[in-house]
Structures are given as C-alpha cells and as structure tokens.
Structure 1
Amino acid sequence: MDRISVLGLLIGFVAIVGGQLLEGGHLGSLSQPTALLIVVGGTLGAVMLQSPYATFVRGIRMAKWIWRPPVVDSLQLIQQVSGWSQVSRREGLLALDGVVNELKDDFIRRGLQLLVDGAEPERLREVLEVEINTFDQEMKLSARIWEAAGGYSPTIGILGAVMGLIQVMENLSDPSKLGAGIAVAFVATIYGVGLANLVYLPMANKLKAHINRLVVQREMIVDGLVGIANGDNPRIIESRLQGYIF
C-alpha cells in the first residue's frame, strides 16, 4: 500500500471540507448527486471518445498502481544478472538455456533467450531498446487518460454550472426551485476543478513516475545482458548496474 497516496488524498479532501465547515457551511451543501453525475459522466465520456479501447482499458487498470505500485526490486535483479554473468564465464552462454524457461518476466526471458542464441551485443541492445521504447510509449499513453480527465473535468464543471443557471432562469417565477439550480451551478464547478487537481492530474503524474521506474529497470537489464554478451567481468557488470538504483 502506497501510504503517501492515501495520506495526500485524505489531506486534500479534509482541507477542503474543513475549510467549508470553518466558514460556517455544512457538508450537505457540497453533496449534489446531479452535479457529480454531470462532471464524472461528462469527463468519462470525453476521455473514452479520445482514447482507443486498449489504451483506455489499460489506463483504468493502471489506476491500482496509485495504491499498490508495481514492485521493482533492483537489488535482486542485479544479483540475478551478476549470477548469470558468472555462469556464462565458467560454462558458456549455453549454460543459461535452462534458466530462460524459469523466468516469469517476458522482457527478461526474451532478452536472455537472445543472449543464449548468440546475438551480437549491439544487435541485442538494439532489439531490446525498441521493445523498451514501445513499452514506454504505450504505458504513458495509457497514463495520459488521467491527464486528459484533468483537462476535461473543469470544463465539464463549468458546463454543469451553466446548466444549473439555465434551470434558475427557467424557474425565476418559482423561488422554491431556485436554490437547487444555484447549488448545482456552483457545486459542479467545485467538483470539476477539485477532481482535476486533487485526483486526476496527481494520478497521471504518479503513474508516469512508476512507468519511468519500470523503464529504468528494463534499461538496467539490457545493460547487464549486453555486458554478459561482451564478456565483461561480473564485478564490473554489478558495479555498473548499481548506478541505476535511485
């Protein structure tokens, strides 16, 4: 569980709700299902319209990374690559063939298979870097659906405010209906701006930070595999990979 994400979200909402209470308001005035429907539903529709299906679904699934980030155990990977380099120096690259099928990570398995198959170091790097670039672009496109939601949400909130004011204008002769229209108008703006700046945009930035960590991890693996292909000393490979840890 990423505690700082939970804490940050709680602090943001508590600050807004607390400010409302300190000003003498009450929570009921911020509870407007109609405004919430307009803002959330409108934002969702806009994001779905701009996104390919696969990108949208991947972005929704990535939302869980906010609470449970992908595990990146760089030290364990460094030890693993160092072990492979020692085996290859003692017994040759073909000795690593039995390790390939034991790996769960598809990227590492493909890279090690290329190494075992005798790919030239530069060719090995070229093939794996193309895969890294594709991975980086696909994942960041998916993360940007939340960034897009942060851009659309305030505008949809303003749209909800205008709709509320239209209701007010249509019911000027009936004072009993004016309050609901005015409430929707102002609360829709709060929902739009609040969700954009407290939820959507921070989520997009955190997801992109996690993606960067995964990309660096893959670059570290490539560097290690290329070092093995070049016949570098295991200690040199391990020392070089330590530089990827941050």
Structure 2
Amino acid sequence: MKASTLFGILCGFVAIFGAFLWEGGTLGALIMLPAMLIVFGGTLAAGMAGSSMAQVAKMPRLFYISFFPESYNIKEIIEQIVEFSVVARKEGILSLESRLKFVKHPYLKKLFQLCIDGADPDTIVRIVDSDMNYITLRHNANINFFIKMGGYSPTMGIIGTVMGLIATLAAAGSDPNILIHHIASAFIATMWGIFMANIVWLPVGDKLKSLHEHEMTLLHVMLDGAYSVQLGEMPSVIRAKLMSAFPLVEQELMEKDFAFKRSQKIRIGKKLNIESERIFEHKSRVKV
C-alpha cells in the first residue's frame, strides 16, 4: 500500500502525456495559463467555498498521507497481543506495564494501559466506539473534500471551454491565429479538468477511504485483542478470533508462519537448555 498512489499518479501522467507526445504533440501546447487558471483556481475556490480554509490548509498533509501512508503490520500486532495474553495469564495483567515500551502502535498501547489501570471491559468498548465514531467523522470530511474536488474539476473545465468558445466567436473575422489559439484554449481547459479529476482528486479520495477502512479493521483487531486479554481468554482462542479479520487463505498462511516461529522458539529453547546443562556439568567437574 505504501506509495502506490504516488506511483499510480506518475504512471497516469506518463501514460497520457506520453501518448500525446507519441502522436507528435508537444507539452508546451498543453500549457495555457488562462485555461489552467480557470481549472485549478476555480476548483480550489469551489472547494474552499464548500468547506473551509482549515480543510484547504490540510491538503498538503493529506496528499502526503495518501502518498506515504504510515502502515502497521496487523499480523505482527496479532502476534504481540497473543504474547501479551500469555504473560497476562501467567503473571497477571499488571505485569504488562513493563512491556508497554515494546508496543509500536500508540492506540494498542493506550488500550493495554486502560487494562492495566483497571478499566472494566465495557468501559474500554465504549471508549473505543467513541474514538472510532470521531475518527470516522474526521476521515469522511477529508474523503468527501477530495471527492467534491473531483466533481468540481470537470465542471471548471467545461466553464473554461465555454469561455474559450465565447472568445472565439467574439473574435470571428479577425486573425485566424487568434481564433485557433482560443479554440485550443477551450479544449485544453476541458482536458485539464477531466485529467485532474480522474488522475489526482478522485484517486486520492479513494486512497484516503482505503486507508480509513484499513485503520478501522486495525482498531477492531486491537479492541478485540485487548478485550480478550483482559478477560483472560486462552492465547490460542485469541489468535483464532483475531485471525478472522483475514481471508481463509491468509489465515492458513499465518497459521503456518506461527507454527514455524513456535518451532523455532522451541528449538532455540532446547539448545539453550542443553548448553546450560553442559556449562553446569563443566563447572561440576572443575569443582571435583
């Protein structure tokens, strides 16, 4: 998922403008400032009018998030939750406090801290539900902003086209070069409006929506995990419950991966035991 949006947009630029150059066009022919001002300026103005200055000011950060999203490995988080459940069953829930520094995701750390502080499971569920509702509201505002920009952009392109045709008709009977310039400006406005909508605005909105869905899945996994750890459920039950977030094929692969890691730990543990026994025997012989 990382950088796929940036790569996709770059591929869109290369494919469309590359095909135009292949047909004998020049990039300079597509750069007409009046047409681009109508499309870009009009789209931003419409977005600002339909939302707020604060929302427009967030655009650079939202672009960065869609281009370089922060990603957490859900499989690693599940494994960490299972490990914490083993410790909690053996040593008690309070023993997890010293291990919180190893938790990478801040929200999972928050949930385990609530468990350690003695919050009952129902309270934790209510807190997470409230957090998820507010997160959804914020994310939907950002997603809808880009989707609306994708709707405004082609309309601004049409406005630019109409204005170009009006200028063409107004200059009828004058220098043919001026007429050709106005006609080109009209079509270029439409091109930029459609291009920006389908290569930039709508894809970024879709990426933000995809990131939101991924985050909601992650929050559900962490909530179910922390809830189960606090209830003292068996680690194997917790793993099976959390793995249901994945398709069956991925669940089978995860089971094999977990089994391999478990066998590795057992093998390492046996080696350490054998080594410690050898050291003990060696020390006993030295004493004799």
- TM value normalised by structure 1: 0.88
> What is the distance in 2 between the residues matched to 1:14 and 1:136?
34
> What is the distance in 1 between the residues matched to 2:77 and 2:231?
19
> In the alignment, which residue of structure 2 is the partner of 1:87?
87
Query: Any residues of structure 2 matched to 1:3-42 within 5 Å, and which?
Result: 4-21=4-21, 25-42=25-42
Instruction: Confirm whether residue 203 of structure 1 aligns to residue 204 of structure 2.
Output: yes
Deviation, 1:56, is 3.6
> What is the distance in 2 between the residues matched to 1:78 and 1:103?
11
Deviation, 1:196, is 0.6
Deviation, 1:88, is 1.4
> What is the distance in 2 between the residues matched to 1:102 and 1:110?
13
**Counterpart contact for 1:82–1:238, Cα < 8 Å:** yes
**Counterpart contact for 2:72–2:105, Cα < 8 Å:** no
Q: Larger deviation: 76-85 or 100-109?
A: 100-109
Query: Any residues of structure 2 matched to 1:206-245 within 5 Å, and which?
Result: 206-245=207-246
> In the alignment, which residue of structure 2 is the partner of 1:61?
61
Q: Secondary structure at the match of 1:69?
A: coil
**Counterpart contact for 2:5–2:204, Cα < 8 Å:** no
Q: Larger deviation: 203-212 or 165-174?
A: 165-174
Q: Deviations over 1:18-60 (max 9, x none)?
A: 5435655444332222211211111111112222344444453
Deviation, 1:227, is 0.3
Letter in 2 for 1:134: Y
Percent identity between the two aligned chains:
34
- Higher gyration radius (CA): 2
Cα distance change of structure 1 residues 181 and 137 upon mapping to structure 2, 3 Å threshold: same
Number of aligned positions between the proteins: 246
> What is the distance in 2 between the residues matched to 1:118 and 1:2?
37
Cα distance change of structure 1 residues 87 and 125 upon mapping to structure 2, 3 Å threshold: same
Cα distance change of structure 1 residues 55 and 97 upon mapping to structure 2, 3 Å threshold: farther
RMSD, matched Cα: 2.4
- TM value normalised by structure 2: 0.76
Deviation, 1:197, is 1.3
Letter in 2 for 1:31: I
Deviation, 1:208, is 0.7
Structure 2: gaps spanning 5 or more residues: 248-288
Letter in 2 for 1:37: L
**Counterpart contact for 2:36–2:189, Cα < 8 Å:** yes
Instruction: Indicate the structure whose relative CO is greater, using CA pairs within 8 Å and at least 6 residues apart.
Output: 1
> What is the distance in 2 between the residues matched to 1:17 and 1:237?
52
> What is the distance in 1 between the residues matched to 2:121 and 2:57?
36
Structure 1: gaps spanning 5 or more residues: none
Q: Larger deviation: 148-157 or 165-174?
A: 165-174
Query: Any residues of structure 2 matched to 1:62-211 within 5 Å, and which?
Result: 62-100=62-100, 103=103, 105-175=105-175, 176-211=177-212
Q: Secondary structure at the match of 2:172?
A: coil
Q: Deviations over 1:195-227 (max 9, x none)?
A: 111221122112211111111111100000110
> In the alignment, which residue of structure 1 is the partner of 2:284?
none
Q: Larger deviation: 39-48 or 163-172?
A: 163-172
Deviation, 1:126, is 1.8
